Chain A
Amino acid sequence: MPSLKDLRGRIKSVQSTRRITSAMKMVAAAKLKKAQEAAEDARPYAERMERMLSSLAAGIVPENAPPLLAGTGSEKVHLLVVVTSDRGLCGGFNGSIARAVKARIKSLEDQGQEVKLIAIGRKGVTLLRRDHNHRMVEKYEELLKPAPAFEHADEVVQRIMRMFEDGEFDVCTVYYNKFVSALTQEVTPLQLIPFQMPESPDEEAGDGGGTGSGGGAQYEFEPNEETILASLLPKNLSVQVYRAMLESFASEQGARMTAMDNATRNAGEMIDSLSITYNRMRQAQITNELIEIISGAEAL
């Protein structure tokens, strides 16, 4: 049975925990708003790039397609880029990514394929290090501070491109938490290399006709499709990785906000129940003392 003093101490400590978690919740909420805005600001560029790519890819002959688009022709070595957060206290945010990645590694290796890893974010490095350290070719910690910037994505992509040019992998996939709402995130794999056109798969089957799908305009190309595609594709990689980083960052803030909200609520409940116990004990003690005094007086 804890003494009154112990209880007082516990109530105090839970109260200060609650103060911290509620402050963290506020901070996460503010950051979330900023992260959402950043994600929105990045949209016009990504949209236009997508439109250009799809009209370019529609007009290109498969034999001339660069390896970034067509792939290396084999699927032996997979590179997984894992985007996580640098800091914890955000619920299942990092755990769910790590779980998905581990499952993917296992299924790929069961099929006899090789896996390499690039981890972005300290938590991802920590979570994957124990089982998969030998697969990790590169890790970026504290890269996304204070917020993801395009140059960070570029840095990562340059590393990926170097590996690709050296033939170190065939397929590259990014794993990140997609921002669904402030309350929900979704672990999403996004294949980078070979590049996959988002939705409208019938467009590629349109055998080079470029039949005015997507935007409706029929473009002229200068100098020609192949040259533009060759410079557009690497840039598009950076854009995709950047987008994954932004989504992940927004998700992280959302996850932290939810986690801290729960923690604050739990702390409140705990304080309530501790206070009840404390008051009861105090009352019992007072009653006890009264009984002692009264029975002492009666004995006289």
Chain B
Amino acid sequence: MADKIGFDVVSPERLLLSEDVDMVVIPAEEGDMGVMAGHAPVIANVRPGTIAVFSGNSVQKRYFVAGGFLEVTGERCTVLAEQATPIEDIDISATQSQIKDLSEDVSHAKDEREKEAAEADLALARAKLQAAESPAYK
């Protein structure tokens, strides 16, 4: 296999992950982005979704991120995210009930602002559920 690329996930509170990987696929705003060593420098928005860490040709680990930012330099790939949850740690039933609660919040929202906030949370919870139920890149 070719060179490895350093892959970091940093949260405001600490460094969440730091490992050398063959390839990572990151859910950027305009489509998933595979990053390998020697990738052109990029700064991008990250949408909520699954980060897949590849070792060779198969996925080794998956993490759910709730959006953030991506910075790629020649030898490093850094995701700034508040959380990175390993997919297998997501509690599916808890997320489902969360979705239900949030949909109620959306319909009961008193004003625009509240509604928007609830809708954003709802979209996030849905993305999380989807990530947990149907992992990408089998």
Give residues in A with beta carbon < 8 Å to B. 38, 41-42, 44-46, 48-49, 51-52, 55-56, 149-150, 153, 162, 215, 217-223, 227-228, 231-232, 235, 238-239, 242
List of A residues within 8 angstroms of B42 by Cβ: 219-222
How far does the alpha carbon of A232 sit from the alpha carbon of B40 in the complex, in Å?
21
Q: Which 9 A-B pairs have the closest CB atoms?
A: A41-B14, A222-B44, A217-B41, A150-B12, A45-B10, A219-B41, A219-B43, A220-B42, A45-B12
B12 near A223 with CB under 8 A, answer no
| Chain B residues with a Cβ under 8 A of chain A | 8, 10-15, 28-30, 33, 40-45, 69, 71, 73-74, 78, 80, 82, 113
The answer for the CA separation of A217 and B77 in the assembled complex, in Å, is 13
Q: How far is the CA of A227 from the CA of B46 in the complex (A)?
A: 12
Which residues of A sit under 8 angstroms from B44, Cβ to Cβ? 221-223, 228
The answer to whether B69 touches A45, judged by C-beta atoms less than 8 angstroms apart, is: no
Q: Which of B15, B28, B29, B71 contacts A52 (CB 8 A)?
A: B71
Residues of A within 8 Å of B113, CB to CB, are 162
Closest to B113 in A: A162
Contacts A51-B71, A217-B74, A228-B43; is A222 near B14 (CB within 8 Å)? no
A48 and B29: CB pair below 8 A?
no
- Interface majority SS on A: helix, strand, loop or mixed? helix
Q: Which residues of the partner chain A approach B8 to less than 8 Å between Cβ atoms?
A: 44
In angstroms, Cα B13 to Cα A106, docked, is 36
**Across the interface, do A48 and B78 meet the contact criterion of CB distance under 8 Å?**
yes
When distances are taken between beta carbons in the complex, the residues of chain B under 8 Å from A218 are 41
**Is B41 in contact with A48, judged by CB distance below 8 angstroms?**
no
Given A45-B11, A220-B43, A221-B44: 9 more A-B contacts, CB < 8 Å: A42-B13, A45-B10, A45-B80, A49-B69, A222-B43, A222-B45, A223-B45, A228-B44, A228-B69
Please list 21 pairs of residues, one from A and one from B, whose beta carbons are closer than 8 Å in the complex, sorted by A's number: A42-B13, A42-B14, A45-B11, A46-B12, A48-B10, A48-B71, A48-B80, A52-B69, A149-B13, A153-B12, A217-B74, A220-B40, A222-B29, A222-B30, A222-B33, A222-B45, A223-B44, A223-B45, A228-B69, A232-B69, A235-B69
Known A55-B43, A219-B42, A228-B43; judge A150-B73 contact (CB<8 A). Answer: no
| Bound CA–CA A56/B43 (angstroms) | 9
Instruction: Tell me which residues across on chain A come within 8 A of B29, comparing CB atoms.
Output: 222-223, 227
Q: How far is the CA of A219 from the CA of B42 in the complex (A)?
A: 5
Residues of chain B contacted by A45 (CB below 8 angstroms): 10-13, 80
- Interfacial chain B residues near A215, Cβ < 8 Å: 73
Say whether A44 contacts B82, CB under 8 Å: no
Chain B contacts of A219 at CB under 8 A? Answer: 41-43, 71
**Beta-carbon contact of B14 and A52 below 8 Å:** no
A49 surroundings in chain B (CB, below 8 A): 69, 80
The residue in A42, A222, A239, A242 that gathers the most chain B C-beta atoms within 10 A of its C-beta is A222
**B12 lies within 8 A of A221 (CB):** no
CA distance A11 to B10 in the complex (A): 54
Q: How far is the CA of A217 from the CA of B42 in the complex (A)?
A: 9
From known contacts A48-B78, A51-B71, infer whether A242 and B41 are also in contact, taking CB-CB under 8 Å: no
Residue among A149, A153, A228, A242 making CB contact with B45, cutoff 8 Å: A228
Interface centre among A38, A228, A238, A239 (most CB of B within 10 A): A228
| B residues near A42, Cβ cutoff 8 Å | 12-14
Closest to B11 in A: A45
Structural contact, A38 and B13, CB atoms closer than 8 A: yes
| CA gap between A46 and B78 in the complex, in Å | 12
Instruction: Report if A222-B28 is in contact (Cβ < 8 Å); known contacts: A48-B80, A217-B41.
Output: yes
**CB-CB nearest in chain A for B40:** A220
A9 to B29, CA, bound (A): 72
Chain A nearest CB, measured from B13 CB (Å): 5
**Central interface residue in A41, A153, A162, by most chain B CB within 10 Å:** A41
By the criterion CB–CB under 8 Å, are B43 and A221 in contact? Answer: yes
List the B side residues contacting A38 at CB < 8 Å: 13
Please indicate the chain A residues that have their CB under 8 angstroms from the CB of B43 in the complex: 52, 55-56, 219-222, 228
A52 vs B72: C-alpha distance when bound (angstroms): 10
